[in-house]
Structure 1
């Protein structure tokens, strides 16, 4: 896994070192020269961080360089905090506050010892930074301009039954009607039947399921609707708890499986229900069979709607002819891209960008997630070179499978301003499909010194 680039800490250090407060501290403690050297060396290293981030993906040596840099900048940040704390205490004492409690601490001998300790600490950190800076030429790291690029509508995708109001949906009306028709077909052979939507990542399977789930005809047809995001962890007990939670809008205590089954039957039995299992990866026939046996059959017409990337999953579920989602048509793809890449009417002012944009859209192979990602990435950008850098991207040229899609999506990360990259990467600490509480996340960013 690539190391997280310490953009925010480096920026904070440079701001501190260039501030009037630390200029004064340097004079008082006789370390002004060392602080200036530290600032100069840190500026040199900061200039190559963008290149280091890209190269560490293919170089273990560069990744180790980034790791060493992280260690030293965090140590430097701690040391400067110690200086600032000492300075604040000195000023407090000078004003006569709490003098009795701290008089021993600020004795001349303690002050001299503190100056020596901090001067030695700064020199040690500066020497470590010297070693790191000396490796810049060794790894052929080049300077790059770190700018704050405006970002529009960047957010973490969370699978739920709700269709985002800001989400522009193109070309799925016919798919919605066809899936609804499959759900409302009554089977004379079984009370509980399955419909499986299959397609590669980014085609909009979840969005299609959301449209179906919230369709007024579907709402009227089923007595009860439930939505569960399954993802990688097909734990039957957790799934049953999630189904009950969706049915009742209440959290369920950690009961034994037989108790959960009883409660599930109490809420579902005799009702025509729709259960959406979104993003299923499980290919274990035994686990699927265990879940099905726990579900009550419900009234005639009850359905399970599954979204998955794998036709093998559909076979495990017992569906030989799943509903296959295809890419958007050319005109639909352009309509989606244009709405996200340009302000309203702006495309008429930049015919050169429109021409490049149409080439980009053709390369997207009708995958909505890729089209949306690149459209938002290019929003606010009116320089032809920015658009050409996307159209000439080798990963976009090879787009066609899951791996390439992830590589293309990385383009949106690469185009984030540096202060947002660290915030985004921090979210990898959370497990997949975890519901991130916004205020808590902001507090965690603050604790890391990102804001």
Structure 2
């Protein structure tokens, strides 16, 4: 398993080293020169991190180098935090300087901290020396401007995401509006491996005029890992009224739910369901059995057992990969600007080889198309075509899909990679407010101005949208 590259922690350490407080403390402790050298060495290391991340998967030596680097930068971060804490405890830098000449304890502390700085600097020096031995090269950290775009809500689908799924869409709509209307509530399930476009298909169905006209209330809930009945009822009520429910009593929530849905023919979409516990599902279904005849639940899931647990009235709709011509049409719309294909016949040939290796999985096709967008040299195209994870995927190993998608992360600039990695602190399906996220990035020292954060945020959104994330 690859080591996590310490992009964020190195950025934190460099930010702290550049602060006026640490520089003053360095002068007071007599280690200013060592801290300056440490800054220079870490900055040099930061430049090769992208290459190290790529090479460590094939090189045990590089992986070991990354592990040592992580240890020493965490030590450096602890050291700087100790410096800052000591400054606060002693009442500031000026007070510390005078204390050095009046307190033997301070001389001991100064010697101890100087030794720690020296040891860390020596370890970093050794790590820098190995850069040439491991043949690590400076990565491209140039920021690229990309036209921005926005996804509006979870239930909306952008034109750029519309995969050629007309036949599948018609089949699902038929199941929703033309059958099972004699029951108060019935369910339809779309199943398939990750990346096939189950959510996109559900979005297309959800927004179709025939579905809009047939149903009264329409509710879209992203479920994912947490199939908590009370939480789901709260989300349904919030979707219906736009007001966040504060009550923790399921009985109170039930009364509100029945008031909203009683005698109405509704459509409830439960996107990305993993729960196959019959009792949980039965509790939710019992609460929902108040609508008019013809009410439907549309579920998207990777797990066939989910459909069995729900007791659906029809065979689950099993979503397949795109056909060859559909796959190419999707890829070419993303990878090439209009008319560009005629200018680069060699790239078209390589692109078709790449597409044929994707097993018709739209998410992988869109991801690779987005990576190669604006690239007119053959080298990056050949690099994708020869990627070992993509070759395994071609052999029918769909477990390698996530490894292929990692290419999308690898393609990010250094600046975006830091900001994107920070978002891992948020739970799955968390709605991130742009202003707050930009402020957090600034607090981490990744950016210095809010307008830069706005630009980074928009660029990440464009990349996510193009890939259909």
Whether the TM-score (by the shorter chain) exceeds 0.5 is yes
Contact kept? 1:204, 1:368, Cα under 8 Å: yes
Stretch of structure 1 that moved more, 273-282 or 152-161: 152-161
Deviation at 1:34, TM superposition (A): 3.1
Contact kept? 1:47, 1:145, Cα under 8 Å: yes
Contact kept? 1:245, 1:251, Cα under 8 Å: yes
Q: 1:312 to 1:63 in 2, by over 3 A?
A: farther
Deviation at 1:337, TM superposition (A): 1.0
Deviation at 1:380, TM superposition (A): 2.3
Deviation at 1:69, TM superposition (A): 3.4
- The Cα offsets for residues 382-440 of structure 1, whole Å up to 9 and x where unpaired, read as 22111111111111112245521111111101111122222222222111111111221
Query: What is the TM-score of this pair, normalised by structure 1?
Result: 0.82
Deviation at 1:349, TM superposition (A): 2.2
2:337 counterpart of 1:336: no
Whole-angstrom distance in 2 between the partners of 1:227 and 1:22: 50
Contact kept? 1:199, 1:205, Cα under 8 Å: yes
- Aligned to 1:374, the other structure's residue is in SS state helix
- Aligned to 2:299, the other structure's residue is in SS state strand
Which of 429, 432, 437 in structure 1 is aligned with 2:428? 432
Whole-angstrom distance in 2 between the partners of 1:133 and 1:306: 53
Contact kept? 2:11, 2:446, Cα under 8 Å: no
Q: 1:258 to 1:74 in 2, by over 3 A?
A: same
Stretch of structure 1 that moved more, 335-344 or 223-232: 335-344
Equivalence for 1:405:
401
Which of 378, 388, 391 in structure 2 is aligned with 1:394? 388
Unaligned runs of 5+ in 2: 448-469
Equivalence for 2:268:
275
Q: 1:307 to 1:17 in 2, by over 3 A?
A: closer
Deviation at 1:444, TM superposition (A): 1.5
Q: 1:389 to 1:157 in 2, by over 3 A?
A: farther
Whole-angstrom distance in 1 between the partners of 2:298 and 2:341: 40
- Aligned to 2:211, the other structure's residue is in SS state helix
Whole-angstrom distance in 2 between the partners of 1:57 and 1:429: 24
- Aligned to 1:326, the other structure's residue is in SS state coil
- The Cα offsets for residues 288-336 of structure 1, whole Å up to 9 and x where unpaired, read as 1111111134112111111111222111111351112111122221111
Equivalence for 1:235:
228
Whole-angstrom distance in 1 between the partners of 2:181 and 2:347: 56
Unaligned runs of 5+ in 1: 91-101
Whole-angstrom distance in 2 between the partners of 1:437 and 1:260: 27
- The Cα offsets for residues 28-48 of structure 1, whole Å up to 9 and x where unpaired, read as 997675355435533553354
Whole-angstrom distance in 2 between the partners of 1:111 and 1:54: 53
2:166 counterpart of 1:163: no
Contact kept? 2:265, 2:294, Cα under 8 Å: yes
Report matched runs for 1:242-321 at 5 Å.
242-319=235-312, 321=315
Equivalence for 2:5:
5
Equivalence for 2:415:
419
Q: 1:143 to 1:384 in 2, by over 3 A?
A: same
- Aligned to 2:161, the other structure's residue is in SS state coil
Whole-angstrom distance in 2 between the partners of 1:377 and 1:258: 50
Deviation at 1:15, TM superposition (A): 9.0
Deviation at 1:78, TM superposition (A): 5.6
Root-mean-square deviation (CA), in Å? Answer: 3.8
- The Cα offsets for residues 176-223 of structure 1, whole Å up to 9 and x where unpaired, read as 222111111243652211111111111111111111111112111111
Deviation at 1:134, TM superposition (A): 6.2
Contact kept? 2:222, 2:272, Cα under 8 Å: yes
Contact kept? 1:4, 1:425, Cα under 8 Å: no
Stretch of structure 1 that moved more, 314-323 or 72-81: 72-81
Q: 1:432 to 1:367 in 2, by over 3 A?
A: same
Q: 1:39 to 1:449 in 2, by over 3 A?
A: closer
Report matched runs for 1:46-195 at 5 Å.
46-54=46-54, 61=64, 64-75=67-78, 122-130=117-125, 132-133=127-128, 141-148=134-141, 150=144, 160-164=154-158, 167-187=160-180, 189-195=182-188
Q: 1:57 to 1:406 in 2, by over 3 A?
A: same
Deviation at 1:240, TM superposition (A): 1.2
- Aligned to 1:195, the other structure's residue is in SS state strand
Contact kept? 1:152, 1:379, Cα under 8 Å: no
